[in-house]
Structure 1
Amino acid sequence: MSTVKEKPADRVPASRVDKFAERRAELGEAALQTLATLGYARTSLREIAQNSEFSHGVLHYYFSDKVDLIVCSVRQYKARCVTRYDKATIEATSVEELMAGFLAALGDTLRDEAHMHRLWYDLRSQALFEEAFRPDVTDIDKSLENMVWRVMSRFSELSGIPPALPPSTAYALLDGLFQQALFKHLSGDADAVTTMQADVRQAISTLMGLAAA
């Protein structure tokens, strides 16, 4: 007998797949705040239902388990998040303008959406233990790496200086600074945002050889 786990979409006729996906997206978005507050360990479909307007039955119909729901919600949030920096990247006409726009966007998202980022790091940590998370975490992580590299590539275009590190290393450096700042911010450090912005400025300037940036 097959032991392959049935996904909710497998129960839906092909003609309804698009509507099913749209409804999943709506539910995932609506549950995002609850997920960000509770975190992975304290979350179940029943717990999410108790903290939202949706019944446990509705959530269970559209999501096979909490892994399915969490991945859906975080993927949607991060898809929006990466576009936040594209505006600064596209519109900047100088190195300092790009630096200012990127640092401002980093500060805003850390200050205003800390709990959402906390959920992402929780999910990424759980992927070390839960194999079911790994394909989606890998995809999301790659989209963030690509976002960072778009920023670094724009710095290169504006300065005429090639980046000193490859995409994966540049991403690891900036992501590490952001995660460190997130922990400080959630711990009540009033200077977490400004310290992160200063550290990121220094890191990018060093990577790009921008002594005056």
Structure 2
Amino acid sequence: MTDKSDRIARRSVDKFALRRAELADSALETLSELGYARTSLREIAQKSNFSHGVLHYYFTDKVELLTYAIRRNEEVWVTRCQEDVASARSASDLKHGFGAAMAGTLRADAIMHRLWYDLRNQSLYEDAFRSDVLVIDERREATIWCVVERYANLAGGSPLVTRPVAYATFDGLFYQALLRHLAGEENAGSALEESVNLMLEHLVAR
């Protein structure tokens, strides 16, 4: 392949990837509003600027579309946590930064998180989702563990729990806060931030 044809091929791949991202972002509002079970590609097309045929060209079915959209937005959440870990210069900095980040994403991205939990629940019944959910869940677990280990290091201590337990703890706190936030409780975010700060301290022995 010549340099010119190689550049053309790369541009085609880039355009395809950008188009998929655009379609996924457009579909998220409908998916998150109605949930997986009540949403079809045709319905997504009706509520967006794209035709049903275009959606089918870029995504085989709504399973592929949904998992792609979740993975894409997962990158944003993971990056935020990684930045908090990298920028923290003390245990206190990391604790408060992580708590604020969890509360912030609860308020700003509640719809996306609701869609993630919907997908995770659906994977208990549909094999098509399971492998993707396990991959995403593993990455979320690794991200949380990175925070716990870094906090322990900055605090001069060591984690008191295993990686799965740490993840289950913070995931549970977030899920409960999400329910309260969606129910209209104004203090759900601040309560989550306080709980995250407190729990991070309890999970580490100094």
Amino acid at match of 2:165: T
Q: Which residue of 2 aligns with 1:75?
A: 71
- CA drift at 1:34: 2.2
Q: Is the 8 A contact 1:95 1:159 kept in 2?
A: yes
- CA drift at 1:175: 0.4
Question: Out of 19, 24, 28, which is 2:24 matched to?
Answer: 28
Query: Does structure 1 residue 120 correspond to structure 2 residue 116?
Result: yes
Q: Which residue of 2 aligns with 1:94?
A: 90
Number of residue equivalences: 197
Superposition TM-score, scaled by structure 2 size: 0.90
- CA drift at 1:144: 0.5
Amino acid at match of 2:113: H
Q: Kindly report structure 1 stretches of 4+ aligned residues shifted beyond 4 Å.
A: 14-19
Q: Which residue of 2 aligns with 1:105?
A: 101
Unaligned 5+ runs, structure 2: 1-8
Q: For 1:186 and 1:99, how far apart are their aligned partners in 2?
A: 25
Identity between Structure 1 and Structure 2 (%) = 51
Question: Out of 152, 157, 172, which is 1:156 matched to?
Answer: 152
Q: Which residue of 2 aligns with 1:4?
A: none
Q: Which residue of 1 aligns with 2:143?
A: 147
Query: Does structure 1 residue 55 correspond to structure 2 residue 51?
Result: yes
SS at the partner of 1:165? coil
C-alpha RMSD over aligned residues = 1.6
Q: For 2:139 and 2:25, how far apart are their aligned partners in 1?
A: 19
- CA drift at 1:19: 4.4
Query: Does structure 1 residue 195 correspond to structure 2 residue 173?
Result: no
Q: For 1:138 and 1:196, how far apart are their aligned partners in 2?
A: 25
SS at the partner of 1:133? helix
Unaligned 5+ runs, structure 1: 1-13
Q: Which residue of 1 aligns with 2:6?
A: none
Instruction: Within 5 Å, give how 1:27-46 maps onto structure 2.
Output: 27-46=23-42
Q: Deviation per CA, 1:126-180, whole angstroms, max 9, x where unpaired?
A: 0000100001101111111111011111101101211111111100110000001
Structure having greater relative contact order (Cα 8 Å, sep ≥ 6): 2
Q: Which residue of 1 aligns with 2:62?
A: 66
Q: Is the 8 A contact 2:96 2:197 kept in 1?
A: no
Superposition TM-score, scaled by structure 1 size: 0.87
Q: Is the 8 A contact 1:29 1:76 kept in 2?
A: no
Q: Is the 8 A contact 1:49 1:56 kept in 2?
A: yes
